Structures are given as structure tokens and as C-alpha cells.
Amino acid sequence: MREDDNWPEGNLERVPFAECRTEEFPPVTEEALAGELLDTRTAPPAGPSKGKRYLGFALMGIGGFLVVGAILYTIDLVLSAGHVPRGVAVAGVEVGGMARADAETKLRRELGPRLAQPVPVLAGDVRAALDPVSSGLKVDWTSTLAQAGSQPLDPLDRIRSFFVRRDVGVITKTDPDELNKAVSALAADALNHPPTEGGIGFRPIAGTDGGVAPYAIEPRPGQTVTDIRGAANLVKARWLDKTGVRVPVESIPVKATSEGVHRALEEVAVPAVAKPLTVRGDGAEAVLRPDSIASALRFTAQDGGELAVTLETAKLQQILQPRLAPTERPGRDAQIVFPSGVPFVQPSEDGRRIDWPGTFGGLKAVLYQQNGRELPVRYLTSKPKLSTDDATALNVKEVVGEFTTIGLDGPAAANVQAMAAKVNGALVRPGETFSLLARIGGFGQGFVPAPVDEDGSGRTVPGGGSSQFASTLYNALYFAGLTDAGHAEHTSYIDRYPPGRDAILLRDDGSPVDLKFTDNLASGVVIQAEASGSAVTVRLWGTRQYRVVGNTGPSEEVTPPTLENQPPGCRISAGVSGFTVTDTRVLYDLATGGEVRRDTRTVRYAPRPATYC
């Protein structure tokens, strides 16, 4: 058999000729030969495995793809040279893949009109607008496109650019100080605001008698832009974004929550002003309309989110007081009067006034009721300072001291009459001290200008001549045995009064000086003062306890008057001598007749010059 017969090369084995040997084979029959040939031709030839064949095909495909990709990459790189990278958008404007000159033209065309439009600025819950022109905002077109970068060399980056969009902002030219100033002004004027605490408001309802509709005032946290420079940088970077520029703010919290506000609205405000409320007093009533109730309601935000409710009762009191005033009754002290010339005790009366805190104490409960909206008035009673019994116990029944002076005329008489009216009826309890100046309250209403001295001499002052009443009162208390608690005599003697027993209310320069006495009797003392014509009389009523004897000593150290010619305001006068006198008052007990005490007082009168006009 030949080597090129259908024998696989792998089954052939070459050996040296020398090693070949001849072997004898059995005879080959025709049937055996036919069968052997048949077996040899039906066996498949041996070849490569399927896995190796597939790997070959894959390697051939990859190689082809790489060759094609390399060709396409080279073509794309060459064609896109000098263009903006694909997928780039500037401020929302697609410029990827465009020549840089074309890209700049498109940006100028589409962004140009927006360069003068107000820039929306969003800060917290506020939306405002910034004027780009006055803020100095301008676009640097060349730098804006330059920031898009150059064509990427990485094949993967170039493939991704077909599917991924990359947004870049504009590059802005501006003066930082000018922009910071503009952003700061915008923050102060529009972006910043204080917190608004939640509360309740009331709107009048047209066509109703004082009806109001409550509504919720929603809480609103305050805010402030704290980083002006950072906000300006954001504006600079995003001022052409269609969505506007959002700048961060620092929030200022509020106490009340929206839930707390609406809870107070439904549970308090709505029922409180649903209907009028009647306030009933003894014999009178007043109605609080819904608008009056609303004016007194106060809602205050509390930590925890709720609204605290208070009532401004002083406002309600102002509304109710005029209508309920007739139910009040002023108290009255007992008085000792002289309707028929003798003392009579006019009974006291208890006072009654509205207890406003007590009345308003039950107001909240009534406000939340739909029916039975009535509030009863509570009252307080007050006892008089001097009851009827106390006045009777003072035992004022007879005159204990009395004195009359005359010679009144002109304005001085009017002043004495005014003083008598103010002093009449004054009560002095045992141990109390009476002040004449405190009783009359000064020389204002009821007094007129007059010469300071009772005889018409001296400077003209308000209340001039009223010292005559002081001298009359002093002599009455002198004979009643009351204790002198302080007085002053005239500078020069006036012959209307006993020497050493006069008193003044006005000094020569018009300044006041007081007269006081203390009730040292066992009974009270009531002053009865009457002035008519040229006379004034003072009676002191009580219970007599002493017999009083007055002893006036002789005049001593007499100084004759000097002569004075044509003094200012000249009035002819003979003048008055100066002298010293001593008066002694002796008090004897009426029950025993024994001497109780002696009061001695020495007075020095200055001379008054004689004048010739």
C-alpha cells in the first residue's frame, strides 16, 4: 500500500529499513479482501475539535472589529478636531459637537436676550429678582467655551459622549464688590425676613351686628442670608440658569406649629365669638358683641407648638363699665353737720363696686358655651372710714371754743369766705393733728389776689388777707383748750386781735406758713366756720373738758415807728410801735376745778413805719 492512500498521517510510523522483517501472512481470500476494503472506506477521517474551530472564528471577528473601530476612531478624531466635545450644554444650551465659533454664536444668540432679564433668586420660602445689569454681571464667552474642555482621546470617553450630557456654567465677568453689594441689598430688602409667629385673626362679617370670622395666621419661620459672599458666588456661577439661583439661608424657628394654630382656632376662637355674651348686674346688664370679645382675646405662641389664650380684661372693663356703673354705689363716711345750728350725725353708707377680677374669673368657661352665654357680675362692699356708730361715739355735742373777728372788706373778704367754706365741717379725732394748709390745699381755685395783710397793707398775693381766718381759728382753739401744734404771729401787731394771740397763713413775701393743732380732748372736734359781710366766726364743737382763762401781760420793750416818705405803693399810715408781750393760758378741769396746765408764749412784734405820701 502507498503512503498517499487513504491512511491518516498520524497512523504512519517510519522505521529503518534494516529493522524491517518479512512476516508471512495467511492467504488472502477474495471474500476477506472485500470485507477489509469495506471496513476501511466506511470509517470517518479524524479532524480538529468544535471548540477550537469556534475560537478561531471569534478571534477573527474581534480582530475585524478592532480594525473597523480604529478606523472609525481615527475618522471621528480627525473630523471633530477644534469642536466642542459632544454632550456639552452651557446654561441649558446644547453646543456639544459644534465648532467653537458656531457654538459661541449660538450661545450669544440664545443667551444674549437673557443677559438683561431679572435673575430669579430663590432663598428659603422667598423668590426675588436681581437686576444683572446694575449688578455688573457679564459673560466671558471665550472662557465659557474653554471650560468645556478639548476633545477626549480616550475611546471610551468618546463613545460615552454619544449618550451622556454634561452641563457647564457660564464664566462671568464682574466686579466682586459691586456684586456683593447688590446681593447684600437684595437680601436685606427681599430675602431676609423675621419669623412670623402663628396666631388668630378676626375679620368683620358684613351685615351683622358686630359679627366676626376668626382665621388662622400661619406660622412662618424667619430667614437670613448669612454668607453674602457665598451667595454672590452662586449668582455669578448660575445667573443664566433657567431655573434661577438658589442661595442658602439660616432659618429662624418659630414656636407655634400649624397644627397648634388650627387647634386654637377650632377649640377657642370659633366658639368664643360665635354669639354675643350678656353680663348681668344688679338692676342692669350689658352685652359683649363678638367683635368686642375678639378685641380682648390674645393668642401667644408657646414652646411645644401650642397657642396660649389670655383675655385682656381691662379692655372688656372699659366696654362694660359705662353700662354697669349704675349698679355700683359709692361709700359715704358719717358726717357731723349742722342743719339747724346744732350737730347732727349724718349716717354712713357702705360702698359697693364691681369686682372685675372676680367677674371675669368665670368668663372663659362661658365663652366656650354655645348656649347659656351669661356672666353674672360680682360685687365688693367697702366699709366707710367713719361709720355712724363711730361718729356718734365722738360725742360732739356742744361748743368748746368760739371766736369772731371783723373788719373784712374787698378781695380779702372773698378769700376769708373761700377759706371758711373749705374748713367748715372738718373733723378732728382725739389724738389727731389738724393742718390748715392741708385742709385748704393751697391758694389756687377759689382765692383771689389781695394785700397780704388784713388791714390792706403789704404786697398783693393770691389769698391775701386770709390770715384773718387763721387768727380767728387760733383764738377758738385757744379757748377750747386744744394743744397748739405750730403757728406763727404777724411781723407787726394788728389791733384786730389780742396781743400775742394772732396767727398768719402768709408771710410778708407771700410764702405760706401753716397753723396746726392737736385734739387733746376725750371727744372729737368739729370745726364750724361762717363768714359773712365783714365778720368771720369759728366754732369748735365737742365735749367741754376745760375752763380756759387767758392772761395777757403788759407791752414791754416798746419801739416807736420810724418815718418813711413816699415809699413804693405809698399809703398814708400812722405806723405801729414794736413791742414784746407775753400771754399765758391756764386750763382748769371742769369736773374738779383744779388747774391742769399753763401755756405761756412770748411774742416780739416789729414796729411798722409811719408813711407820708
In a domain, 51, yes or no: no
Query: Grid coordinates standing for 95?
Result: 453646543
The confidence score (pLDDT) of residue 217 equals 96
The pLDDT value recorded for residue 37 is 43
Q: What is the dihedral sign for C-alpha 90, 96, 99, 105?
A: negative
In a domain, 34, yes or no: no
Residue 426 domain-assigned? yes
Say yes or no: 209 and 133 in one domain.
Answer: yes
pLDDT category of residue 120 using cuts at 50, 70 and 90: very high
Q: Does 81 have pLDDT greater than 90? A: no
Both 269 and 248 in one domain: the answer is no
Please indicate, yes or no, whether residues 228 and 281 belong to a single structural domain of this protein: no
- The number of domains in the chain is 3
Please check whether residues 340 and 202 belong to one and the same domain: no
444 Cβ contact list (under 8 Å, min separation 6): 462
pLDDT digits (tens, 9 = 90+) for 216-238: 999 999 999 999 999 999 999 88
What letter represents residue 535's amino acid? A
Q: Where a domain ends, among 385, 414, 448? A: 385
Region 313-340: mean pLDDT is 93
> Cβ atoms within 10 A of the Cβ of 150, count?
11
With cut-offs at 50, 70 and 90, classify the pLDDT of residue 38. very low
Lowest mean pLDDT among 4-8, 306-310, 444-448: 4-8
Say which residues have a Cβ less than 8 Å from residue 579's Cβ, sequence separation at least 6. Answer: 493, 499, 555, 556, 557, 558, 559, 604, 605
562-579 burial, b at 16+ Cβ within 10 Å, e below that, comes to eeeeeeeeeeebebbebb
Same domain, 166 and 101: yes
Which are the contacts of 89, defined by CB distance < 8 A and separation ≥ 6? 95, 96, 165, 166, 167, 168
pLDDT higher than threshold 80 for residue 29: no
120: phi then psi, degrees, rounded to nearest 5 = -65, 125
- On whether both 524 and 417 belong to a single domain, the answer is yes
pLDDT confidence band for 2 (50 / 70 / 90): very low
Asked if 515 and 463 sit in the same domain, the reply is yes
β-strands 516-518, 525-532: how paired? unpaired
Q: What is the pLDDT of residue 143?
A: 81
**C-alpha distances in angstroms, 29 versus 22, 41, 118, 161, 560?**
20, 19, 113, 81, 208
Residue 321 lies in a domain: yes
Please state, rounded to an integer, the average pLDDT across all residues of the chain.
86
Whole-model pTM: value is 0.56
Query: Coil, helix or strand for 71?
Result: helix
Q: How large is the greatest C-alpha to C-alpha distance in the chain, in angstroms?
A: 210
Q: How do beta strands 546-552 and 516-518 pair?
A: unpaired
The whole-number pLDDT of residue 67 equals: 67
Please state, in angstroms and rounded to a whole number, the distance separating the CA atoms of residues 504 and 521.
Answer: 25
Q: Band of the pLDDT at 329, cuts 50, 70, 90?
A: very high
Residue 42 lies in a domain: no
Question: What is the CATH classification number for the domain harbouring 332?
Answer: 3.10.20
The neighbour count for residue 99, using CB atoms within 10 Å, is 13
Q: Regarding predicted confidence, which is higher, 341 or 279?
A: 279
pLDDT at 484 over 80: yes
Give the residue carrying C-alpha cell 356742744.
398
Pairing, β 398-405 against β 374-376: unpaired
226 and 330 in a single domain? The answer is no
Position 301: which residue type? A
Under a CB-based contact definition with an 8 Å cutoff, are residues 329 and 351 in contact? yes
- How far apart, in Å, do the first and last CA atoms of the chain sit? 195
Q: Which of 5-14, 87-96, 433-442 has the highest mean pLDDT?
A: 433-442
The residue-averaged pLDDT of 202-219 equals 96
Is pLDDT at 208 greater than 70 in this prediction?
Answer: yes
- Res. 276 pLDDT band, cuts 50 70 90: very high
The answer to whether residues 583 and 493 touch, using CB atoms and an 8 Å cutoff, is: no
Boundary-marking domain end, from 227, 254, 281? 254
CB atoms within 10 A of CB 214: 22
Class of residue 42 by CB neighbours under 10 A (exposed 0-12, middle 13-18, buried 19+):
exposed
pLDDT of residue 165: 66
d(CA 291, CA 374): 17
411 with 441, same domain? yes
Examine residue 475 and state whether it is found in any structural domain, yes or no.
Answer: yes
Phi and psi at residue 581, to the nearest 5°: -140, 150
Residue type, 249: V
Instruction: Please state which of the ranges 2-16, 375-389, 434-448, 483-497 shows the lowest mean pLDDT.
Output: 2-16
Q: Is pLDDT above 90 for 41?
A: no
Residue for cell digits 407791752? 555
pLDDT at 296 over 80: yes
Nearest residue to 578 (alpha-carbon basis) of 517, 491, 508, 520: 491
pLDDT band at 32 (very low <50, low <70, confident <90, very high): very low
d(CA 466, CA 513): 12
CB 121 within 8 A of CB 182: no
CA 234 to CA 51: how far, in whole Å?
A: 62
Strand, coil or helix: what is 410? helix
Stretch among 186-190, 257-261, 452-456 having the lowest mean pLDDT? 452-456
Greater pLDDT, 285 or 171: 285
Between CA 374 and CA 130 the distance in angstroms is 59
Per DSSP, what are the bridge partners of residue 398? 542
Please check the confidence at residue 40 and state whether its pLDDT lies above 70.
no
Residues 92 and 234 in one domain: yes
Neighbours of 128 (CB within 10 A): 17
Give the range of the structural domain holding residue 243, as residue numbers without chain letter. Answer: 87-254
Q: Which of 97-106, 242-251, 266-275, 410-419 has the lowest mean pLDDT?
A: 97-106
Rounded mean pLDDT, 575-602: 95
Is 247 in the same domain as 118? yes
pLDDT confidence band for 35 (50 / 70 / 90): very low
> Is 586 buried (19+), middle (13-18) or exposed (0-12) by CB count in 10 A?
middle
pLDDT tens per residue, range 330-350: 999 999 998 888 899 999 999
Single out the residue of 522, 610, 603 nearest to residue 565, CA to CA: 610
Mean local confidence (pLDDT), 445-449:
92
- Pair 376, 418 in one domain: no
Q: What is the mean pLDDT of residues 582-602?
A: 96
* Percent helix, strand and coil across the chain, each to the nearest 5: 30, 30, 40
- Of 214, 239, 254, which marks where a domain is finished? 254
**Would residue 302 count as lying in a domain?**
yes
Residue 16 lies in a domain: no
Measured distance CA(357)–CA(444) in Å, rounded: 39
264: three-class secondary structure by DSSP: helix
Residue 512, pLDDT > 90, answer yes
